[in-house]
């Protein structure tokens, strides 16, 4: 799909589909440029508004065919809602709605006329993200590709002028989100620790990134007993992935992004028996988003050094599996009594956080599909955020706002650590049921000594059961956009 920013007005554009976004309160007779366009199209717009009772309500739409001799074949009206509620992120969801309508109508060429907000480059970026993400379809595992309607070949963003950099930014971010989606959506026999490492290798080769893959023996030498305790039940080798982007010029800051990489979670000997085991291919959502962010950042080339880290493995059942009651020793020397083998993600993250801090970065952000408790608390559209540093929390919330992804800051209530205390080790890997997402964050906190750190629990929003906004049903690629915006900020 070729997306162009042009100075052309709706009055002068010719093609298959012209989409116009309107604020609430659209009535006839029309005025101004809207009236002129309506006259050019022989009153089609006024008729459409009247017949469909279109008022510009947020998320509403109306489509009609225009006369045979018209320079435009179809008119698409979409509602923006109240003008006072208009935000940059509205552009993403509006573009997604238009893209799906264009797909249904089998349009090859399309133009978008959107009321101005922010800068032209920002508008182009948001619209580009929405178009690409809504049209992304994953049919990799079909034996015969399904018949698909013709996808858009050309989209003109009217009235924006020469802001191709905004389109390029939007395309890079969309590519990162789509990579994360496809990693998370793939079955566990297609995406393993080995294939995650191969994906990192492909990114390194394509974009000139540095790559270090620690094998099991390397992890043993570093004392990563917590990570390896989880990994030892699998017949597939663990891979500790360390991918690095370094800017060509002066480095403004140095950060680390750490993603949970459980490519399948059976629960271990605490086997998942209450349902949901079939969805555990998505337990590497943190690693998927980490690699997706790497793909975007490598193209955008910010002046920030970024380390992308994931301790990748599966949590399986075998004669080698860690047992409830076992004690593991992490690479910082802290000991962990395993009282639930199904709380394995935090065990892998423990050694990954210790590794990240040794890089002497200025901030560490980890992200993980960590707890069902966070889904209970915040639902399936909002992620949890915990941080030891107020400034870092503010940065991430601002990045999320810009990304159109939701996070809610949660408390790091130190007294809750009492529930993690073990009589025979430094800590247990799970606490009581109450406050489960908080105690999980407090567990991770034990493996970062001084560096500003934030933990993102993304268990809910990494998957969507139905189409919403820029997300189609399935893996969402959350929170790639937030991570990229944070690095760029």
* Delimiting residues of CATH 3.40.630.10 domain(s) in the chain: 171-488
Choice among 40, 103, 272, 334 that is catalytic: 272
Is pTM, for the whole model, over 0.85? yes
pLDDT of residue 150: 60
Question: Fold for domain 171-488?
Answer: Aminopeptidase (3.40.630)
Is the predicted pLDDT of residue 263 greater than 90, yes or no?
Answer: yes
Other CB atoms within 10 A of residue 100 CB = 16
Strand duo 154-158 + 109-113: pairing: parallel
pLDDT of residue 191: 98
Mean pLDDT of all residues in 402-429? 97
Residues sharing a CB contact under 8 Å with residue 51, sequence separation 6 or more, in sequence order: none
Confidence of residue 455 (pLDDT cuts 50, 70, 90): very high
Could you report the per-residue pLDDT of 33-45, keeping only the tens digit for each? Answer: 889 999 999 999 9
Other CB atoms within 10 A of residue 208 CB = 11
Picking from 192, 180, 186, the residue whose alpha carbon sits closest to that of residue 483 is: 180
200 bridge partner residues: none
65 is an active site residue: no
E strand segments, 412-482:
427-428, 453-457, 463-464, 474-475
Confidence of residue 145 (pLDDT cuts 50, 70, 90): low
Could you report the per-residue pLDDT of 74-89, keeping only the tens digit for each? Answer: 999 999 999 999 999 9
* Delimiting residues of CATH 3.40.220.10 domain(s) in the chain: 2-139+151-159
Task: Supply the mean pLDDT for the chain.
Answer: 96
Is the predicted pLDDT of residue 148 greater than 90, yes or no?
Answer: no
Is the predicted pLDDT of residue 149 greater than 60, yes or no?
Answer: no
464 bridge partner residues: 474
Residues sharing a CB contact under 8 Å with residue 397, sequence separation 6 or more, in sequence order: 385, 407, 409
- Contact between 346 and 373 under an 8 Å Cβ cutoff? The reply is no
Confidence of residue 276 (pLDDT cuts 50, 70, 90): confident
Choice among 74, 181, 281, 346 that is catalytic: 346
Is the predicted pLDDT of residue 134 greater than 70, yes or no?
Answer: yes
Could you report the per-residue pLDDT of 109-131, keeping only the tens digit for each? Answer: 999 999 999 999 999 999 999 99
Residue 451: in which H helix or E strand, if any? Answer: none
87 is an active site residue: no
Q: Please work out, in degrees rounded to the nearest 5, the angle formed at the alpha carbon of residue 188 by the alpha carbons of 187 and 193.
A: 135
Q: 2-139+151-159 sits in which CATH class?
A: alpha beta
């Amino acid at each position: 799909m070729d997306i162009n920013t042009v100075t052309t007005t709706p009055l002068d554009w010719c093609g298959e589909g012209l989409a116009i976004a309107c604020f609430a309160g659209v009535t006839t007779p029309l005025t101004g440029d809207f009236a002129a366009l309506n006259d050019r199209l022989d009153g089609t717009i006024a008729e459409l508004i009247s017949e469909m009772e279109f008022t510009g309500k947020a998320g509403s739409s109306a489509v009609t065919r225009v006369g045979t001799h018209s320079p435009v074949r179809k008119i698409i009206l979409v509602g923006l809602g109240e003008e006072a509620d208009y935000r940059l992120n509205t552009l993403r969801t509006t573009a997604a709605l238009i893209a799906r309508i264009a797909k249904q109508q089998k349009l090859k060429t399309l133009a978008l006329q959107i009321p101005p907000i922010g800068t032209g480059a920002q508008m182009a970026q948001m619209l580009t993200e929405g178009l690409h993400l809504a049209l992304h379809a994953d049919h990799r595992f079909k034996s015969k590709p399904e018949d698909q309607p013709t996808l858009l070949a050309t989209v003109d963003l009217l009235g924006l002028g020469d802001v191709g950099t905004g389109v390029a930014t939007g395309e890079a971010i969309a590519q990162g989100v789509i990579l994360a989606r496809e990693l998370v959506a793939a079955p566990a026999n297609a995406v393993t620790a080995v294939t995650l490492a191969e994906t990192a290798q492909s990114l390194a080769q394509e974009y000139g990134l540095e790559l270090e893959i620690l094998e099991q023996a390397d992890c043993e030498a570093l004392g990563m007993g917590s990570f390896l305790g989880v990994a030892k039940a699998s017949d597939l080798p663990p891979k500790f992935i360390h991918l690095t982007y370094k800017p060509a010029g002066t480095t403004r800051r140095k950060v680390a992004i750490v993603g949970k990489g459980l490519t399948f979670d059976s629960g271990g000997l605490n086997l998942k028996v209450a349902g949901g085991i079939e969805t555990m291919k998505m337990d590497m959502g943190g690693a998927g988003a980490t690699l997706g962010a790497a793909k975007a950042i490598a193209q955008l080339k910010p002046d920030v050094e970024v380390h992308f880290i994931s301790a990748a493995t599966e949590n399986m059942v075998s004669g080698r599996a860690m047992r409830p009651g076992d004690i593991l020793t992490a690479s910082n020397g802290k000991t962990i009594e395993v009282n639930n083998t199904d709380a394995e993600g935090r065990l892998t993250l423990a050694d990954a956080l210790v590794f990240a801090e040794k890089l002497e970065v200025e901030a560490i952000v980890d992200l993980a599909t960590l707890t069902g408790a966070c889904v209970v608390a915040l639902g399936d559209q909002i992620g949890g955020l915990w941080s030891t540093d107020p400034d870092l929390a503010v940065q991430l919330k601002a990045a999320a706002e810009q990304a159109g992804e939701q996070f809610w800051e949660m408390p790091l209530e130190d007294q809750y650590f009492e529930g993690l205390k073990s009589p025979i080790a430094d800590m247990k890997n799970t606490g009581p049921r109450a406050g489960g997402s908080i105690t999980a964050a407090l567990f991770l906190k034990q493996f970062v000594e001084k560096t500003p750190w934030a933990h993102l629990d993304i268990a809910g929003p990494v998957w969507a059961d139905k189409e919403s906004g820029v997300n189609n049903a399935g893996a969402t690629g959350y929170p790639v956009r937030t991570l990229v915006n944070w690095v760029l900020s």
